Amino acid sequence: MKALVTGGAGFIGSHLVDRLMEEGHEVRVLDNLSAGSVENIRRWLENERFEFIKGDMADFETVKKAIEGVDVVSHLAANPEVRISSQSPEKLYESNVTITYNLLEAMRNSDVEYLVFTSSSTVYGEASVIPTPEDYGPMEPISVYGGAKLAAEALISGYAHIFGFRAISFRLANIIGARSNHGVIYDFINKLRRNPDELEILGDGTQRKSYLHVSDTVEGMLHIFEHFRREGKTYDVYNLGNDDWITVKEIAEIVSEEMGLKPEFRFTGGVDGGRGWKGDVKFMLLDVSKAKSTGWKPKLNSYEAVRRTVRELLEG
């Protein structure tokens, strides 16, 4: 297949690009490099099956050009930082909703057959059912980030049903691994490099969430996409995460141990009952039984994924 990966120079996107290239597909990347890096895809730049377009999806003509001749679009371009929900809601709207609308408008008069979208567990908000299944409702995001992802999902579903392409959304748990440049593990490592004796931990440390290594994420996306293609649905949604979860304090302990340090933990206390920031979902565990029913399952649990990620980031 010929694939377009938006945000393909970013964290998850570049790992997806690696797999697609290794499997022999033609791959085009569209990325404005606001969150990604050319270094993540440098190994492919001279490959005849690979094309890189530096461009912003806010520009419709750029998007229109990027989808020419492709069979499938994997749409990963987004602002990945949940924490800016309260400071810059307009940025999250533009980088999650507006660019998705531009992509869909370009696709509706094209020959693109499939759209793969990376959504987020944040669409569920503070779910009363844990583990949370795909059919949970009502959806009530508690951050602008979660709201923007849910809005993008709704647009994709509407366009797919009206304009004759097929689409799948993956609601991702916390995805971690090499090349990540934000998130709790990345923050902890940088804080301890600055001050090995003390580690500031946002919130009360009891926040508990599911973490999935990026290698398991990409494997899951590709495996389930093939299942989706065979199944014949116009639109479908899958959770991608782990069966277990881990607290922020436990992550701090693993990071400290891997760095050979014994810092004093200083908890900020957080907001709204110990959250790290306003809009932070304190407890998140996805029901991944639907994904596992296709034959996929993660190789690393949350604890193993965290430890491997710490080692990868320290080596990188």
Catalytic residues: 145
Cα separation, 12 vs 100, whole angstroms: 17
The pair of three-digit structure tokens given for residue 27, joined into one six-digit string: 């791959």
Q: What is the DSSP string of 158-171?
A: HHHHHHS-EEEEEE
How many Å is the Cα radius of gyration of the chain? 19
Cα separation, 9 vs 4, whole angstroms: 12
The total of other beta-carbon atoms located within 10 Å of residue 182's CB is: 13
Instruction: Render the burial of 284-300: b for 16+ CB within 10 Å, e for the rest.
Output: bbbbbebbeebebebeb
Cα torsion through 99, 145, 193, 252, rounded to 10:
-140
C-alpha dist (Å) from residue 110 to 20, 52, 222: 22, 20, 23
Residue 180, judged by CB atoms within 10 A of its CB (0-12, 13-18, 19+), counts as buried
Cα separation, 222 vs 288, whole angstroms: 16
Cα separation, 228 vs 257, whole angstroms: 41
CA atoms within 13 A on the CB side of 108: 15
Contact 19/1 with Cβ under 8 angstroms? no
CA atoms within 13 A on the CB side of 156: 29
The pair of three-digit structure tokens given for residue 251, joined into one six-digit string: 């992550």
